[in-house]
Amino acid sequence: MPSSRLIKRRIKSAKNISQITKAMEMVSASKMKRAQDQALSSRPYTRKLMEMLRTIALHTDPSTHPLLKLNDSQKVLVVLISTDRGLAGGLNTNLFKSSEELIKGRDVAFIVFGKKAREYAMKMGYTIVAEFTGMSEKLRFEDALPVADIMMKSFLSGEYGEVYLLHMQFVTTLSQKPLPERVLPLSAQDIEQPAELIGSKTEYVFEPSPKDILDHLLPYYVEIETYQTMLDAKASEHSARMVAMKNASDNAKEVVSELQLIYNKTRQANITRELIEITTSSLTLAQ
């Protein structure tokens, strides 16, 4: 049985760990609330814009705009958004598993967001086109513009035939799921048609012209979709980290309770042994 001193040292260490994880849980909870509010408040706008543009793309000649047209390249560009830091449970592990399923058997390159994504891509030997680390806690729309610009230029140059965004989508505080989404090209093949549009022959009249309108809307769609993805990823990170730290705090408290029980038993055993020794010595002297 371990000595009382060693057990006390372990109890102290477990208590210190519990205090640290509890503090991290509270910090993550505060950041999580802000990130969730930011992600959820912009989601209806993003979805409506996506719905509008996909409906237009469904009824528009792909030759109208280069972002609607398929090209001959077999290469795939994936924007992988992870965390900069660990201690987020299985968040990054699930993300990277989804990445392997997406790129299996394909010629792929990555734009990586976060240090964990960079480490993953480097470890697996994938090509990294660009990397972004140190993502701000309070994201702005301008933060998404550089990566959206790289995505569009890479696609328009014909170097990549498809561009995907891959991140952990925020569902609830306890649930985040990997979401691969093809951003480019925006085409009818990717669109699940609403029931009221199936079989319809709607024609759009563009003013001033389809090209002028799509020249503005389609790049903006890529930018806003990238921004929303970053918001979702940030909300998922803080949610996962808060839950992971809460579980760590609870586990540390259980360890302290178990060690305290062992300590009490050890202390009781030592007292009993000392009493037996004293009694034995007294009886020996009496004889």
Residue type, 32: M
Number of domains in the chain: 2
Split at pLDDT 50, 70, 90, the class of 160 is very high
Average pLDDT, the chain: 83
CA distance 188 to 59: 8
Q: Are residues 14 and 43 located together in one domain of the fold?
A: no
Write the Ramachandran bin of 239: left for phi over 0, alpha for psi from -120 to 50, otherwise beta.
alpha
Q: Are residues 16 and 76 located together in one domain of the fold?
A: no
Report whether pLDDT(62) > 90.
no
Q: Strands across the sheet with 127-132, in order?
A: 127-132, 107-113, 75-81, 162-172, 175-184
Q: Are residues 53 and 122 located together in one domain of the fold?
A: yes
Q: Are residues 118 and 260 located together in one domain of the fold?
A: no
Q: State both tokens at 282.
A: 């007294």
Q: State both tokens at 203.
A: 């024609």
Split at pLDDT 50, 70, 90, the class of 163 is very high
Average pLDDT on 68-72 reads 82
Q: Given this model, what pLDDT does residue 75 score?
A: 92
146-165: burial string, b at 16+ Cβ within 10 Å, e else = ebbebbbebbeeeebbbbbb
Report whether pLDDT(112) > 90.
yes
Please state whether the peptide bond connecting residue 208 to the residue before it is cis, i.e. omega within 30 degrees of 0. Answer: yes
List beta partners, residue 287. none
Q: Are residues 127 and 230 located together in one domain of the fold?
A: yes
Q: Are residues 60 and 159 located together in one domain of the fold?
A: yes
What one-character DSSP code corresponds to residue 174?
A: T
- Which residue range forms the structural domain that includes residue 13? 4-20+247-286
pLDDT digits (tens, 9 = 90+) for 28-60: 888 888 888 888 888 888 888 777 776 666 666
The strand pair at 127-132 and 107-113 is best described as parallel
Q: Are residues 115 and 257 located together in one domain of the fold?
A: no
